[in-house]
Structure 1
């Protein structure tokens, strides 16, 4: 692969796969605040004396800088003397490195290590002897020798570097929470500048603006986060609270049925098999098999899943239902002394006593 195509390929992959949490320092302040609870104040990344305060219901997003000789203390939430021992700027070394042109003696399009990267994911692209910072895609790290993004098994990130503060936590106060961009029922928390993943309790999810878990019905998720699919509780007996195992008729369809497997780790089967009988057959919950639909008693809409025009009515062999679009749209009745025969699609003097319409 030539150098030009390598530049385009690496940049495209990084931008396409790099998550907003991993690339927190490269986001706009608006994008940062979208991940944070409202009214959160923090040190603006890659600075020592600039601050950001996210909007709340009663305020708008603010950003500003400290006066000369002062640095912003993210834990105190205010500017104090830069010389104070209480103010340790997490970007001091990185800012010093910014004044060094690491690309001064590099060839055009070269990839080099970003010394400010805390997790070996960062690299620098040299373009016209200028530095362009970027991150390797998720699960990849930058190899300083091959100068490319590789899997972690191909290069061991030095421990001293790997254990440094997470890029997403360097500018945030301790215990600050961030929304998970993918899972609405999860979130992140910065603890001693290490990013930890957390999960909300059952039936709740993380509200991105409030900064804590709320009932799923009331949650406002981060814009790209999704709620988990509801757990399938068909194999849980709601009356007794115990798991049920075996074959069961679908409560919404005459022709479908479930197979509930054995409980696992004390929990009912949450992924039961959902199967369908062949066309013209219904599931018989007494004999646990698919049978001719006229030989199965089913109280549900008998037009569902069929291509015939008229069907017998459960409990009344003289009545019939008219089907349209797979559902019953009207009900009719045969003349006195006549019975409806679904098989022949008409009224007849013979009562075949189909189980389907018997009481």
Structure 2
């Protein structure tokens, strides 16, 4: 029985062209291909739900559309192109019965209950499963529920309809959650008990670098009327919103980059001044990071599996230095802020401690210590299928 993931991939609107330095998201119906690629290993192939003629390869910079040779279609179960006559794919086909021999039942793309009866390669009837869903693999109505998408065009219930069976993939809303694709196309769900699902390893473990950068779901702001206007995302530093003339649409910077609110462009994580409150644990390589604090630069977070903890504040007279992982006297702030956008424009408070409490440029405050010790990676359990 497949779990419903349709909420993760719902499309709010058609995306416009991305501005320089960013990656435009690829959306097919209710299927966010770009977001899906953040949940799987680099190099994974994912099927299209618009056409059987091509598929996507997930790279470090997002999905890349790749065409099958003439006469071949993409077979998501084999994760490769195969002769069209041997592939059960119906996306983008004017006649879903094309190439069929004998009696066959095929799905109506964009629905989860409707089917078409094929007599050889001619559509000869149709119907709807009652209180159940149509399974194209078994060509029958089976127990299950589905959610019809309000978006136009094709839609899918979960990624297991485009991913190779036995695949593991992560969640775009919770780093600890992972999913598993069964051979029959259904999807199971699991939770990593004491860490995160590490996408590149396809297993549960500790995300020691705090790079749980697949967290992409956040609410889109209200409508807008200034075409081309951009604004930062207060949840995810590497995302921003682009105005298409009537409403904002979500876009993502390249991997390793943040949206800079000062230049309205994507730039390196360290130099960008992102939206206040956004998760600076994204793409971080250290457990403690600066919060966006352009006033005093004395606030910082602890990164736990890519999720930032509660804000902490350095003692009076000190700012937080992410590179050195500690609180340092304000005498070094001007040099630090020049290369660290999270503290752009920050100054020392007017009230400072007496000279006796500082020792030149040497820190007198120990660096915060990690409370999450690394451990060996373990594979997710495979006992996921409901009894």
Q: Same fold (TM over 0.5)?
A: no
Which has the larger Rg? 1
Bigger relative contact order, structure 1 or 2 (CA pairs below 8 A, ≥6 apart): 2
TM-score under structure 1 length normalisation = 0.36
TM-score under structure 2 length normalisation = 0.34
Give the structure with the larger helix fraction: 1
